[in-house]
Amino acid sequence: MSPAAPTSTGAVRAAIAGLCAGAAALGTGELAAGLIGKDSSPVLAVGAAAIDLSPRATTEFAISTFGSNDKLALLLGLLLVIAACAAALGVLAARRRGVGVAGLVVLGVVDVVAAVSRPAAGTFAAIPSVLAAVAGIAALVFLLRLLPAPLDETVRLTPGQAAQREIERRRFVLAAGAAAGVAMVAAGAGTLVRRTRDVAAARERLLVPVAAADPTEAPGAAPTGFADIEGLSPPLTPNGEFYRIDTALRVPQIDPAGWSLRIHGRVDRELRLSFDDLAGRGDLIEADITLACVSNEVGGPLAGGAHWVGVPLARLLEEAGVEAGADQVLTRSIDGWTCATPTLDCQRTPNAMLAVAMNGEPLPLEHGFPVRMIVPGLYGYVSATKWIVDMELTTFAVSDAYWIQRGWDAIAPIQTFSRIDVPRPDRGLVAGAAAIAGVAHSGSDGISTVEVRIDDRPWEQARLSPSTNTQLWRQWYLPWEADTGEHVLTVRAVDGMGRTQSENSYPPYPNAASGWHSVRVVVA
Ligand SMILES: Nc1nc2c(c(=O)[nH]1)N[C@H]1C(S)=C(S)[C@@H](COP(=O)(O)O)O[C@H]1N2
Ligand SMILES: [Mo]
C-alpha cells in the first residue's frame, strides 16, 4: 500500500459523508416543499433565482444551446454544483467540524434568501430551506462521527485492531447508504405529494371553449401537394411539438377555479375576471396565428402556428376604459415574469386576445394554462404572457419588462423570416425528383413571394400555399430535379409590401436574427 493511501481514503470517505449529507438536505427540502406546496422547492428556488440573476449572455447562450431543454440542463448543472459543494464541505468538516457546519449554514441562508425572494413565494417559503439545512448539518455531524480515525502509517495494526477497523468501515458505509436512501425516499415522496396537487386533472375536465363566430378560414387546411411533402412544417404545429420558451423551471400549476385576472392601473374601471367570466363570454374569437421567439436563429425551430380561441383584448380594454397616454399594457405571470405590449397593438391588431384554447384543447400547462396572451405580429417576449394573472395599464416611460431590463428592444414586431425544412442537411438525398420546401412568415404584411436559389443559379419562385390570413405563416415549395453532388440551397421571402428579406446576417440580440437561411445537402 502506498503511504498516501490512508489519508486519501479518509478524504474520500469525508467527501462521501458530505455528499450523503447534501442528499439528506435535498430530500428533506423536497419533502417539505411537497407538503407545503406552492412550488417552494429549495433547489428550484435557487435555480429560478439563478435564471433571473444571470447576465443576458448566459440566458441567451442557454436558450440557443439547449433550446427548450435549457431548464433540464440548468437543473443538472445546479445539482452538480451542489454535489461538488457538499463533497468539499465534507472534506473540510472532517478536519474542522465548525468550518463544515458554517459552510452548510451559509448554503442554507442563500437558499432561504432565494426562496423568499421568488415573486410567487408563499408565507412558508423559507421552511423547506431551513429544514433542509438542519437535516444536512445533522447528517454530516452524524456521519463524520462514524468516520474511522486516521491511521498512523508507521504503526502496524494487530489482527484485532484490523478487525475493529473493518467493523468501523462497515458501520460508516451502512450509515452513509441509509442517509442517501432515506434522502431519496423523501425526495420521491415530496414529488408524489406535489403531483397530487397538479392541475392536469382540472385541465382534463375543462370543456374546450368554442368561439361564437365562424373562423374566416378552415383552420390550418393544407392544400394538396403541400400535405404530402414529408418533413415540411404543417400550418398548425401540434401542441406536443410546439416550441417552448420561458423562464419557469417548473411549469406553474394554476387551478382555473382559483384563477383570476386583475386589470388595473391607468383605467377608468378596475376589473377582476374569473376563468368562467372569460371562457363563458359570448364574444370569443378564434384565429390561426404564428407565434415566434426573438431568440430564434436564422432557420431555427422557435416558431409555430396554432389555432387559438380567446377573448378579444380590445373588448377587455374597452370595458376597463384606458386612460389617455397609457401606452403600455404590462402583463405579469404568476411566477413574476413581466411583458410590456404597446396598448395600440392590443386595441387595434385583429385577433389580439387572451387565449384559453390552443389547437382544439384547453391551453397545455407548458403553454400558459389556463390563460395566456396572444398578439399577432409581435415576438413572444413582448406579447405572449403565459400563466397571466395581472394586467396593468401604464407607460413605456415608467416601466420596463423582464427582457427589456436585460437589453432587448422594447418594440419588437416579428421580422420577415423564411426557413428550409426539406431537404434536411443531415439526411442523405437520392438523385431525381425532390422538393425544396419550408415556411415563411412576416409580422404584419403577409408573404407575397418566396424565392429559392440552388447553388449560384438565378433565384426561382417557389409555389405558396394559398392563404388570406397574414397572421399565420405560409408554406412554400419548389420542385427540384436533384443531381448528384453537393448543393447549397438558399431561401428568401418578400413580404406583402414588396420588401425582400435582408441578406445581412445578425444574431438574435437585441431585436431578432437576420439573414437568408441556407442549407448544404449531398445528393447521392
Ligand atoms: N410567463 C411567461 N410567459 C412567457 C415567457 C416567459 O418566460 N414566462 N416567455 C415568452 C417568450 S420569450 C416566448 S417566445 C413565448 C413562447 O411561448 P410558447 O412557450 O408557448 O411557445 O412565451 C412568452 N411568454
Ligand atoms: Mo421568446
Q: What is the CATH number of the domain that holds 267?
A: 3.90.420.10
- CA dist., res. 58 & res. 70, Å (int): 11
Task: Please identify, among 143, 176, 196, the residue that sits at the C-terminal boundary of a domain.
Answer: 196
Residues 340 and 272 both lie in one domain: yes
Question: Is 215 inside any structural domain?
Answer: no
Residues 359 and 433 both lie in one domain: no
Within 10 Å of residue 42's Cβ, how many Cβ atoms?
A: 31
Residues 310 and 365 both lie in one domain: yes
Question: Is 214 inside any structural domain?
Answer: no
Q: Is 35 exposed, middle or buried (0-12, 13-18, 19+ CB in 10 A)?
A: middle
Q: Which domain holds residue 184?
A: 8-196
- CA dist., res. 85 & res. 76, Å (int): 14
Residues 147 and 269 both lie in one domain: no
Q: Which residues pair with 461 in a beta bridge?
A: 451
Q: What is the Å distance from ligand 1's center to 337 Cα?
A: 9
Q: 84: which 3 cell numbers? A: 461538488
Give pLDDT, residue 64.
Answer: 54
Residues 48 and 173 both lie in one domain: yes
Number of folded domains in the chain?
Answer: 3
For the Cβ of 245 lying below 6 angstroms from any atom of ligand 1, the answer is yes
- CB-CB contact of 349 with 317 (8 Å): no
Question: Is 514 inside any structural domain?
Answer: yes
Question: Is 231 inside any structural domain?
Answer: no
Question: Is 61 inside any structural domain?
Answer: yes
Q: What is the Å distance from ligand 2's center to 261 Cα?
A: 23
**Nearest CA among 483, 518, 510 for reference residue 57:** 510
Nearest CA to ligand 1 atom 8: 246
Q: What is the DSSP letter of 338?
A: E
Mean per-residue pLDDT for 15-19? 93
Q: What is the Å distance from ligand 2's center to 218 Cα?
A: 28
Residues 494 and 427 both lie in one domain: yes
Residues 31 and 176 both lie in one domain: yes
For the Cβ of 380 lying below 6 angstroms from any atom of ligand 1, the answer is yes
Tell me the pLDDT band of 2, cut-offs 50, 70 and 90: very low
Locate all alpha helices (DSSP H) within 321-396, ordered by sequence: 343-348
Q: Concatenate the DSSP letters of all residues of 191-217 into one string.
A: HHHHHHT-SHHHHHHSPPP--SSPPSS
Atom of ligand 1 nearest to the CA of 243: 21
Task: Please identify, among 174, 196, 218, the residue that sits at the C-terminal boundary of a domain.
Answer: 196
Give pLDDT, residue 65.
Answer: 56
Mean per-residue pLDDT for 498-524? 95
Range of 7-16, 41-50, 157-166, 458-467 with top mean pLDDT: 458-467
The continuous run of DSSP H or E covering 90 comes out as helix 70-95
Residues 168 and 263 both lie in one domain: no
Q: Is 210 exposed, middle or buried (0-12, 13-18, 19+ CB in 10 A)?
A: exposed
Nearest CA to ligand 1 atom 7: 246
- CA dist., res. 336 & res. 475, Å (int): 36
Give residue-wise pLDDT tens across range 76-111.
888 899 999 999 999 999 989 898 899 889 989 998
Residues 311 and 390 both lie in one domain: yes
For the Cβ of 395 lying below 6 angstroms from any atom of ligand 1, the answer is no
Question: Is 432 inside any structural domain?
Answer: yes
Residues 309 and 443 both lie in one domain: no
- CA dist., res. 171 & res. 367, Å (int): 50
Full strand arrangement of the beta sheet holding 388-394: 271-274, 260-265, 388-394, 328-333, 338-342
Question: Is 53 inside any structural domain?
Answer: yes
**What is the pTM for the complete model shown?**
0.86
Task: Please identify, among 336, 362, 394, the residue that sits at the C-terminal boundary of a domain.
Answer: 394
Give residue-wise pLDDT tens across range 410-465.
999 999 999 999 999 878 899 999 999 999 999 989 999 999 999 999 999 999 99
**Nearest CA among 394, 264, 246 for reference residue 320:** 264
Question: Is 404 inside any structural domain?
Answer: no
Give residue-wise pLDDT tens across range 271-305.
999 999 999 999 999 999 999 999 999 999 999 99
- CA dist., res. 37 & res. 194, Å (int): 7
Residues 364 and 324 both lie in one domain: yes
**Nearest CA among 18, 26, 48 for reference residue 190:** 26
Kindly tell me if the per-residue pLDDT of 3 is higher than 50: no
Residue 486: give its domain's CATH number. Answer: 2.60.40.650
For the Cβ of 70 lying below 6 angstroms from any atom of ligand 1, the answer is no
Mean per-residue pLDDT for 321-337? 97
Q: What is the mean pLDDT of the chain?
A: 89
**Nearest CA among 220, 136, 115, 250 for reference residue 186:** 136
- CA dist., res. 259 & res. 256, Å (int): 5
Residues 305 and 342 both lie in one domain: yes
